Amino acid sequence: MGRSVELARIIDGCKSGDADSFAQVVDMYAGRCYGYFYRLTGDRDLSDELLSELFIKLVEKIGSYKGGAFESWLFKIASNIFHDHLRGKQRRRKLMDAHRTQLEREPDLNESRFSDEGQIRLERLQVHLNRLDADTRDLILLRFYSELSFKEIAEHRSEPIGTALSKLHRGLKKLRELMEG
Amino acid sequence: MKQHAHENLTELLRRFMDESAAQAAQADIETAERILEAHPAPFPSPETLATIRALTLAAAARKRHRTQIFRGAVAVAAAVILTILIGRQSPAPTGGPTISFASILPTALWESHDIAADDLDLVYFASEIRHIEAEIRALDSQETEIRRADAVKELEMELVAIETEYWKGSY
C-alpha cells in the first residue's frame, strides 16, 4: 500500500515536470526495463539506446497516463519501442546480423571473453532464447520482466487470454528443454 | 516466484485445461521461470543511468519550455480574437464626431504610412505568430522521435488547459 502511494506521488511529480520525480522513476524501473530489452536483443549498446528512448518517451507521454498499473503502462511503451525498432529496416538488418554472429559463435562458449561461469550461463540462456520465435520470446520476456498478469498481457497483445497462456506454456516448456538438454 | 499482479495461475490454468494438464503446465511454467530467475540479465551501467537521467531532465525542460511558449502564444491569439469580436459587436457610429475615434489612436499610428511596422502590438503579434510557426516546424522535425498523433493530442490538451485558465482569468 505504502509503495503504491509513494509511486502515485512520484507520478504526480512527473506530471508536473519535477526533475527529481523523473530521476526516481529511472532508478525504480531502469533495471527491469533494461533486462527486458537486453533479453530481447542480446546487445548491450542497443539496450542502452532503447532504454534511453523509453524514458524520453515517458517524459513526453506521462500526461496521457490516466491511472491503473504503472508497470503495465510503462511496459506497453517498452514493447512498442522494441517493435518500432524491429520495423526499422536498417536497424532490423543490424539486429539480425548481430544475432547471426551470436548463433555462429554458440559452440565456442569457452572462449576467453567469458571470464567466469556466471557469464557463460548468462549467454547460454541468451542463445536459447534466440532459438524461440520472436513472438514467443517477446511474450515470455514481457511476462517475466513486467510482472503483468495474463489478463493484462492478453489485452496488450490483443489476443484471447487462453491463446497467450498456451503460447507462453509452449515457449517456456521449450526453453526449459533447451536449457536442461 | 514473481507475483504477476497477484494472479492465481493454478485457477487460471484450470479454466482452460483439465486438472492433470493444468498441474503439468504449471510445473513447466514455474520451472522455466525459475531458470530465468537464476540467469538475471545484466544491469545498465552507472554511466548509462547517468546519461538517461540527464536526457530525461533535458526532455522535461524542453517540454516545459514548449508548453510555456504555446500557452503564451495561444493566450495572445485568444485576446486578439476576443478584441476583434468585441469590436464587431459594438454599435456602428451614428453621426458622432469622427475625431472621438481618431483620438484614441496614438499620434504615431495616426500619422504612420506603415502601420504593420509602427504598431508595436502588431509587431508583437506578428512575432508571436512567427514563434508558433517555428514551434510547429520543430515538432515536424522531431517526427521520428514523437509521433505526430501524440504531438497533436498534446497540443489539443494544452489548448484545453489554456482555454480553461484563460476563462478563469489567469491571463
Whether chain A has a CB inside 8 Å of the CB on B41: the answer is yes
| Closest CB from A39, A55, A63 relative to B52 | A55
Q: Which three cell numbers stand for residue B156?
A: 489539443
Whether chain B has a CB inside 8 Å of the CB on A112: the answer is no
Chain centre to alpha carbon of residue A111: 28
Q: Measuring CA to CA, which residue among B147, B165, B159, B69 is closest to residue A60?
A: B147
CB contact under 8 A, B59 and A64: no
Q: Measuring CA to CA, which residue among A155, A122, A163, A126 is closest to residue A141?
A: A126
Q: Which three cell numbers stand for residue A20?
A: 527529481
- Give the mean model confidence (pLDDT) for residues B101-116: 67
On average, the pLDDT of chain B sits at: 76
Whether chain B has a CB inside 8 Å of the CB on A108: the answer is no
Q: Measuring CA to CA, which residue among A67, A68, A65, A63 is closest to residue A17?
A: A63
Whether chain A has a CB inside 8 Å of the CB on B107: the answer is no
* Whole-number pLDDT of residue A156: 86
Residue B57: strand, helix, or coil: helix
Whether chain B has a CB inside 8 Å of the CB on A22: the answer is yes
The alpha-carbon gap from A136 to the nearest alpha carbon of chain B, in Å, equals 13
Q: Using one digit for the tens of pLDDT, what is the confidence trace for B6-44? A: 568 888 888 888 889 888 888 888 888 888 898 888 999
Instruction: Name the pLDDT band for B160 (thresholds 50, 70, 90).
Output: confident
Dist. CA B15–CA B77, nearest whole Å: 59
Dist. CA B22–CA A165, nearest whole Å: 11
* Whole-number pLDDT of residue B53: 92
Per the CB < 8 A criterion, the answer to whether B116 and B122 are in contact is yes
Q: Using one digit for the tens of pLDDT, what is the confidence trace for A26-69? A: 999 999 999 999 999 989 999 999 999 999 999 999 999 988 88
CB contact under 8 A, A44 and B42: yes
Above 50 in pLDDT, residue A110?
no
Using a pLDDT cut of 90, give the percent of chain A over it.
46
* Whole-number pLDDT of residue B6: 54
Q: Which three cell numbers stand for residue A157?
A: 497483445
* Whole-number pLDDT of residue B65: 79
pTM over 0.80: no
Report the chain B residue with the minimal C-alpha distance to residue A43.
B42
- The count of CB pairs under 8 A between chains A and B is 130
Chain A residues inside the 8 Å CB shell of B60: 17, 19, 22, 59
Interface test with B, best of A18, A48, A148 (most B CBs within 10 A): A48
On average, the pLDDT of chain A sits at: 84
Q: Tell me the three-class secondary structure of chain A, residue by residue.
A: CHHHHHHHHHHHHHHCCCHHHHHHHHHHHHHHHHHHHHHHHCCHHHHHHHHHHHHHHHHHHHHHCCCCCHHHHHHHHHHHHHHHHHHCHHHHHHHHHHHHHHHHCHHHCCCCCCCCHHHHHHHHHHHHHHHCCHHHHHHHHHHHHHCCCHHHHHHHHCCCHHHHHHHHHHHHHHHHHHHHC
Instruction: Please say whether the dihedral angle defined by the alpha carbons of residues B41, A47, A7 and A157, taken in this order, is positive or negative.
Output: negative
CB contact under 8 A, A56 and B40: no
HSE (side-chain half, CA atoms, 13 Å) at B108: 5
Torsion region of A18: left, alpha or beta (phi above 0 gives left; psi -120 to 50 gives alpha): beta
Whether chain A has a CB inside 8 Å of the CB on B143: the answer is no
- Give, in degrees to the nearest 5, the angle at Cα A144 between A140 and A147: 125
Q: Could you give the residue ranges of the DSSP H alpha helices within chain B? A: 9-16, 19-38, 46-89, 99-102, 107-110, 115-118, 120-141, 148-168
Above 70 in pLDDT, residue A107?
no
Above 80 in pLDDT, residue B155?
no
